[in-house]
Chain A
Amino acid sequence: MLGVSACGGQIAANTPASNGNNFVAGDGTSTYYQAGHRAAAPTVSGTTLSGSQLNLSAYRGKVVVLNFWGSWCAPCRKEAPTLAVLSEQYHAKDVQFVGVDIRDQASAADAFMQNFGITYPSFNDQSDEIALDFRGSVSPAAIPSTLVLDQDHRIAGRVIGATSYGTLNTMLTKLTAGT
């Protein structure tokens, strides 16, 4: 251990500090819900990192990939290139990628998006209220988490933890084929 982490104090014993990671990490498990078994997604709206207003209903009729991320989160950095590639690949097939940037800060998030070549918009969700909106239907249980909404904005898929190209690609292929 580094000297920096000499968590000798009393705080370290019973605070988030003791977790070390400072967030609940997911384990890369994915679920796909067949048509007819899909819960409706809540209406989601908010301010994006670039400062404009965004409402998910603007993308009705499109498949939406909702990715919960943070520039500080290592698994998010790992999956970011995959998401950048897939968002380009499915752009023409009416699939809209939307990020939900959690517990982050605009300048760090901007640098992240620029570095990984991410062009799709992200909600600025400092206090995680969008994740709270998904409570009760399918809640993204850890960072990173990815939800895939079908054309009617019903929750068709969920990946907890860093997504792989294969997992997300399979879901999107099914959904854009209309199954």
Chain B
Amino acid sequence: MTDVHTDPAGQAGPPVPARDRAGTEAEPVLEAGIGERDAADAPVARPPAGHFGVVAWARWAWRQLTSMRVALVLLFLLALGSVPGSLLPQEGIDPAAVQEYYTAHKTLAPILDRLGLFNVFAAPWFAAIYLLLFISLAGCVLPRAYRLARSARAVPPRAPRNLARLPNSVRFQTGLSADQAAALAATFLSRRHFRLNRGEGWLSAEKGYRREVGNLLFHVALIALLVSIGLGGLFGYKADRLLVEGNSFADTVTDVDAFHPGHFVSANDLAPFTVTLNRFDSSYIESGQDRGQPSVFDAHITYTAQPGGTPRQYSLQVNHPLNVDSTKLYLIGHGYAPVFKVTDGQGKVVYDQATPFLPADQATYLSEGVVKAPDAQPDQLGFAGVFLPTAVDLNGQLESAFPAALEPAVSMIAYRGNLGLNSGVAQSVYQLDTTGMTRVATSDEVLTPGQSMKLPNGEGTLTFAGYKQWVSLQVTYDPGQVPALISGIVALAGLLLSFLVRRRRIFVRTYADQAGHTTVDVAGLARSDVGGGFEGEFAELSRDLREHITASRKETE
């Protein structure tokens, strides 16, 4: 990797005042093999010790912040800071679990809440870490980009006095005058796209500035990448929705299960499309080593891009999202939704719908779920249990043997009492709060499609009518995605360019002697000849240059 951060040596400990940053940050790769340095890179003398003014402290702080060491520490803190996010329940992901944590840990929870540990990614300290990291990166990359831009426009330095000392050099004689020879060398080199600098009796030429351009591109693209990711975070959103076969949903805040907006996203910014799940096909490998592994997931959907728009068909598959006006719809999961019908004690149907159950076992799709009939009379009814796609009886223990619904069955436990819904506290649709309920014995707890179980004393009936499948969908809008991709590609191209292109210099000095002959010294120097091969290039180039000069001599004669 190109050095994004260089760690200037000797910057730990107390502030070392005003040592020019450019000097300490010379790029080791670029400068390798070059004896000289631009004047700007030269270290500035230390001011007398003991005078740490505000400016010195500010400089020191800035240098610390933009150093490699601090960037790494920040990166580590960022990783460390996300840990509580996975250990503790999070407000944005599972508010019900946070509530439960509060009731379970009455003294600890308020303290954790003050520290923002229930909403880590929105906590001020977390924001401080990533903002500092951003500043650290920008503070390192921007000045570097500026220096690279200057270096890409730089004029080759004066030719050294003694060219024979350089690792690659040749000397030859010519009958031309020193000026003529130098002029010929200049035209030869500029035709080969060298950048020239000429003086009295010397000529220096350099090429391979694309290396600097590549390096510059890499650094600028890196900043663009950071900005794009930020852009996505601020203006993008993510929404999840679980959809049962035959049902529809609209991309509105009310109609999604979970909504994670960026800071500048309002409810009105959602793409106004509607999606209907017509059918979900899933098939699994039925034999062999991979038995039970999914082979096909295919959600057949009908969607309209705008209200009143033309309905279109689409086959939504894993990694084959639907793209509606740069908002993407992904298929991220699936499961079973047994259809239940609940009749209450007064003979009224109070529940009749497909109820999504959550897979508890990915291998067999044994799924868990609940049915709540809050409007059942005289008592509210609740049922909790499992759906078994392929039910088998293992010594009295009911298990699912295969993820496909070959022998579907449900096993449900009935409860009666207060579901706790009327108090207005939001609760999970996948959980039954049985604190206000009592379990009731029922005629049969295992049902196959079409079978019913009766509650005692005519308090109600639960019928397992059949099953449907559901898919979980994710709607994502990330305006930073395309810029981030472009930045990534540019960064990679820039990096390749900076690795593949070699910056090399050719120096020519011409001396006239008393005999009327001219001695031409040609020397070459590669900056950062990492891959090697400059010697060959120099040999060829100096031979051609010599031929160019000697051939012209013949023409002039």
| A residues with CB within 8 A of B | 1-2, 4-12, 14-25, 68, 71-75, 77-79, 102-103, 105-108, 111-112, 114-115, 126-129, 131-133, 135-136, 139-143, 145, 162
Instruction: Judge whether B326 is part of the interface by a CB distance below 8 angstroms.
Output: no
Given known A-B contacts A17-B242, A108-B375, A139 and B252 have beta carbons under 8 A apart: yes
Chain A residues closer than 8 Å to B429, beta-carbon distance: 20-22, 72
Chain B residues closer than 8 Å to A102, beta-carbon distance: 254-255
Q: Is there contact, CB below 8 Å, between A9 and B253?
A: no
In the complex, chain B residues 502-541 whose Cβ is within 8 Å of any chain A Cβ: none
Chain A residues closer than 8 Å to B358, beta-carbon distance: 7, 9, 11-12, 17
Chain B residues closer than 8 Å to A111, beta-carbon distance: 344, 348-351, 373, 375-376
Instruction: Judge whether B325 is part of the interface by a CB distance below 8 angstroms.
Output: no
Q: Is there contact, CB below 8 Å, between B241 and A19?
A: no
Q: Which of A8, A111, A141, A162 has the most CB of B within 10 A?
A: A111
Chain A residues closer than 8 Å to B249, beta-carbon distance: 103, 127-128
Chain A residues closer than 8 Å to B361, beta-carbon distance: 9
Inter-chain pairs besides A16-B472, A132-B252, A132-B255, 7 sampled, C-beta below 8 Å: A1-B97, A11-B362, A17-B358, A24-B254, A71-B374, A108-B350, A135-B267
Instruction: Judge whether B370 is part of the interface by a CB distance below 8 angstroms.
Output: yes
Q: Is there contact, CB below 8 Å, between A2 and B333?
A: no
CA distance A127 to B95 in the complex (A): 25
In the complex, chain B residues 63-113 whose Cβ is within 8 Å of any chain A Cβ: 93-97, 100
Chain A residues closer than 8 Å to B333, beta-carbon distance: 10-11, 14-15
CA distance A127 to B256 in the complex (A): 10
Q: Which of A15, A72, A103, A126 has the most CB of B within 10 A?
A: A15
Chain B residues closer than 8 Å to A11, beta-carbon distance: 333, 335, 358-359, 362, 472
Q: Is there contact, CB below 8 Å, between A72 and B372?
A: yes
Q: Is there contact, CB below 8 Å, between B94 and A20?
A: yes
Q: Is there contact, CB below 8 Å, between A19 and B94?
A: yes
A74: contacting residue among B95, B274, B422, CB under 8 A: B422
11 contacts across the A-B interface (CB closer than 8 A): A7-B360, A14-B240, A20-B431, A22-B428, A74-B426, A77-B424, A106-B352, A111-B344, A128-B249, A131-B252, A131-B254
Q: Is there contact, CB below 8 Å, between A128 and B252?
A: yes
Q: How far is the CB of A42 from the nearest CB of chain B, in Å?
A: 9
Q: How far is the CB of B4 from the nearest CB of chain A, in Å?
A: 32
CA distance A2 to B335 in the complex (A): 20
| B residues with CB within 8 A of A | 93-97, 100, 240-242, 247-259, 267-268, 270, 272, 274, 276, 307, 332-333, 335, 344, 348-353, 358-362, 368-370, 372-377, 384, 420-434, 472, 474
CA distance A38 to B352 in the complex (A): 40
Given known A-B contacts A1-B431, A127-B249, A19 and B257 have beta carbons under 8 A apart: yes
Chain A residues closer than 8 Å to B368, beta-carbon distance: 4-6
Chain A residues closer than 8 Å to B259, beta-carbon distance: 24
The chain B residue sitting closest to A78, CB to CB, is B424
CA distance A114 to B384 in the complex (A): 25
Q: Is there contact, CB below 8 Å, between B250 and A129?
A: yes
Q: Is there contact, CB below 8 Å, between B250 and A128?
A: yes
CA distance A103 to B250 in the complex (A): 11
CA distance A14 to B471 in the complex (A): 12
Q: How far is the CB of A65 from the nearest CB of chain B, in Å?
A: 17
Given known A-B contacts A11-B472, A22-B257, A139-B267, A107 and B428 have beta carbons under 8 A apart: no
Q: Which of B94, B242, B422, B428 has the most CB of A within 10 A?
A: B428
Q: Is there contact, CB below 8 Å, between A135 and B375?
A: no
Chain B residues closer than 8 Å to A2, beta-carbon distance: 384, 431-434
B350: contacting residue among A17, A20, A107, CB under 8 A: A107
Chain A residues closer than 8 Å to B431, beta-carbon distance: 1-2, 4-5, 20
B240: contacting residue among A16, A71, A112, CB under 8 A: A16
Q: How far is the CB of B411 from the nearest CB of chain A, in Å?
A: 12
Q: Is there contact, CB below 8 Å, between A128 and B425?
A: no
A108: contacting residue among B257, B276, B373, CB under 8 A: B373
Q: How far is the CB of A143 from the nearest CB of chain B, in Å?
A: 5
Q: Which of A4, A25, A79, A145 has the most CB of B within 10 A?
A: A4
CA distance A85 to B28 in the complex (A): 79
Chain B residues closer than 8 Å to A132, beta-carbon distance: 250-252, 255, 272, 274, 307
Q: How far is the CB of A16 from the nearest CB of chain B, in Å?
A: 3
The chain B residue sitting closest to A76, CB to CB, is B424
Given known A-B contacts A12-B358, A133-B307, A143 and B423 have beta carbons under 8 A apart: no
Q: Is there contact, CB below 8 Å, between A8 and B360?
A: yes
Q: Is there contact, CB below 8 Å, between B426 and A75?
A: yes
Q: Is there contact, CB below 8 Å, between B96 and A20?
A: yes
Q: Is there contact, CB below 8 Å, between B424 and A131?
A: no
Chain B residues closer than 8 Å to A131, beta-carbon distance: 250, 252, 254-255
Given known A-B contacts A15-B333, A108-B375, A74 and B272 have beta carbons under 8 A apart: no
